[in-house]
Amino acid sequence: MSNVAPIVSKLYCSSSQTVLGVRKRPHVVNGGGFVVTDCRTQKVVFKVDGCGIHGKKEELILRDGDGEPLLLMRRKGGMVEALSIYKKWKGYSINYEGLQKLVFSLKEPGNSCLVKNKGIRIAIEPGSVSNKSWDFEIRGYFPDKHCSIVDTRGNIVAQVGINKEVEKLMENKDLYHVVVKPGMDQAFVFGVIATLDYIYGESTYC
């Protein structure tokens, strides 16, 4: 997987497999969301702001460990949207001047929240890097914290799971881990995970 091109930035592509822990925040902190920590160094890598307090509905922000914005995820609306069976989320990278550039889109199938094992597909923008209409797919069921992001060849590039030792210690599922394969853009992975978190009404939802 080391030949994967960066989607957001090469700064977030590691040459080795990385295990990251995700801890949800209560809605009183930046509208909810979650904090992502490198399990090896215990350093905060990303923070995701939900929309519970100051943010806009159907809009999420992925920040780096210092709080600088990296990605803005937004659900598109309008009349065309109302007539479509798909709701589309778009992820925009934000540079140091605040300019936004579309980097991925994700189709949320109608009523998919209730359907297990319904593949959610993601396209890298602008234009697909593969010959298909999508570049990555979510397999498994995110609310169970048992799912993977796979590429068009079926290779797992990131995997969401719950550490069994941690699960025994905790009453609720506010801590899980994500294994990101070498070369995969971790900022992109967590932009997708933040979007799934909102779709399924979890910590970023308002």
Distance of alpha carbon 66 from alpha carbon 167, whole angstroms: 29
Quick check: 2 and 15 in contact, CB under 8 A?
Answer: yes
Span of 23-27, 72-76, 87-91 with lowest mean pLDDT: 23-27
Q: Looking at the domain assignment, is residue 128 inside a domain?
A: yes
Q: What percent of the chain has pLDDT over 70?
A: 76
135-191 pLDDT per residue, tens = 999 999 999 899 999 999 999 999 999 866 555 554 455 689 999 999 999 999 999
Among the listed ranges 2-11, 12-21, 75-84, 87-96, which one has the minimum average pLDDT value? Answer: 75-84
Provide the pLDDT for residue 175. Answer: 83
190 within some domain: yes
What are the tokens at 67? Answer: 């709080």
User: Is residue 45 left, alpha or beta, with left meaning phi > 0 and alpha meaning psi from -120 to 50?
Assistant: alpha
In a domain, 20, yes or no: yes
The reply to whether 119 falls in a domain is yes
Task: Examine residue 47 and state whether it is found in any structural domain, yes or no.
Answer: yes
Average confidence (pLDDT) over 18-38: 84
- How many independent structural domains does the chain possess? 1
The answer, yes or no, to whether residue 62 has pLDDT greater than 90, is yes
Which of residues 155 and 112 earns the better pLDDT score?
155
Residue 68: its pLDDT value, please?
A: 93
In a domain, residue 36? The reply is yes
Count H helices and E strands in the chain, helices first: 3, 12
Q: Which stretch of 34-43, 76-85, 121-130, 169-178 has the lowest confidence by average pLDDT?
A: 76-85
Instruction: Give the domain extent around 61.
Output: 10-199
Closest CA to 153 of 166, 137, 133, 169: 137
Residue predicted with more confidence, 130 or 100: 100
Q: What pTM was computed for the model?
A: 0.86
Which residues in 65-164 belong to E strands, given as ranges?
69-75, 86-94, 100-109, 120-124, 136-141, 146-151, 156-161
Looking at the predicted structure, is the pLDDT value of residue 113 above 90? no
The first and second tokens of residue 159, run together, are 């995997």
Residue 206 lies in a domain: no
CATH of the domain at 37: 2.40.160.200
Q: Is residue 150 part of a domain?
A: yes
**pLDDT at res. 79:** 47
Classify residue 187 as exposed, middle or buried by CB count within 10 Å of its CB (0-12, 13-18, 19+).
Answer: buried
What number of other Cβ atoms are within 10 A of residue 32's Cβ? 25
Look at the block and give the residue holding tokens 């069921």: 141
pLDDT recorded at residue 14: 95
Residue 123 pairs with which residues in a beta bridge?
Answer: 105
